[in-house]
Amino acid sequence: MQLPSELDDLYQDIILDHYRSPRHQGLLDAPDLRGEGFNPFCGDQVVLTLGLDEAGRIDAVGFEGQGCSISQASASMLTDHLQGKTLEEAEDLVRTFKGVMQGEEFTPEQEEELGEVAALQGVKQFPIRIKCALLGWTTLQDAITAYRKTQG
């Protein structure tokens, strides 16, 4: 699907804004979950930390990274969507986003739920960049998997 020019421009602006001014920049001092992601093909890196409240909801998020605008903007957008979510809800977000990056179309409900993340759907036109967009998301999934192993 080719995006209309105005929409493409808007999406580029959103991606550049998150790249230049990443949200939740900096790691948490005592996180409940921590994940480190690295893309050996391009050198992109993301470290993601999460804190959970007593009810098991994500109440703090921090990340650091380096790499291309797509990987860093995607990680920033991800952190914006994690606040207040359960780990199951976070995994649902990961599945939805991975599906879109693998060619599925957003349903209107998914597009509304993910908000600015929809700006990344144009990345799927460039297969080499999909791993960049997914880096933060796979790092989150790895952190959740590791956390669950420690919890029994």
Helix, strand, or coil (residue 35): strand
> What pLDDT sits at residue 7?
45
- Residues 36, 52: Cα–Cα separation, whole Å: 18
pLDDT (0 to 100) of residue 125:
85
- Calpha distance 58→55 (Å, rounded): 9
Report the C-alpha gap between 5 and 152 in whole angstroms. Answer: 50
Strand, coil or helix: 106: coil
End-to-end CA distance of the chain: 44
Look at residue 113 in the predicted model and tell me its pLDDT: 83
Q: Which two tokens stand for residue 6?
A: 């105005």
**Calpha distance 71→113 (Å, rounded):** 20
Q: What is the pTM of this model?
A: 0.90
**In the chain, where are the structural domains located?**
5-147
Q: Write phi, then psi, for 55 (nearest 5 degrees).
A: -85, 0
Q: How many other C-beta atoms lie within 10 A of the C-beta of residue 47?
A: 20
Query: What per-residue confidence (pLDDT) applies to 115?
Result: 85
Distance CA 50, CA 30 (A): 9
Architecture (CATH level 2) of domain 5-147: Alpha-Beta Complex (3.90)
pLDDT on residue 119: 85
Alpha helix stretches (DSSP H) within 63-105: 69-82, 87-101
As averages over each run of 10 residues, the pLDDT of the chain (152 residues) reads: 52 87 95 96 95 97 95 95 95 93 85 85 87 96 97 84
As a whole number of angstroms, the distance between CA 26 and CA 149 comes to 25
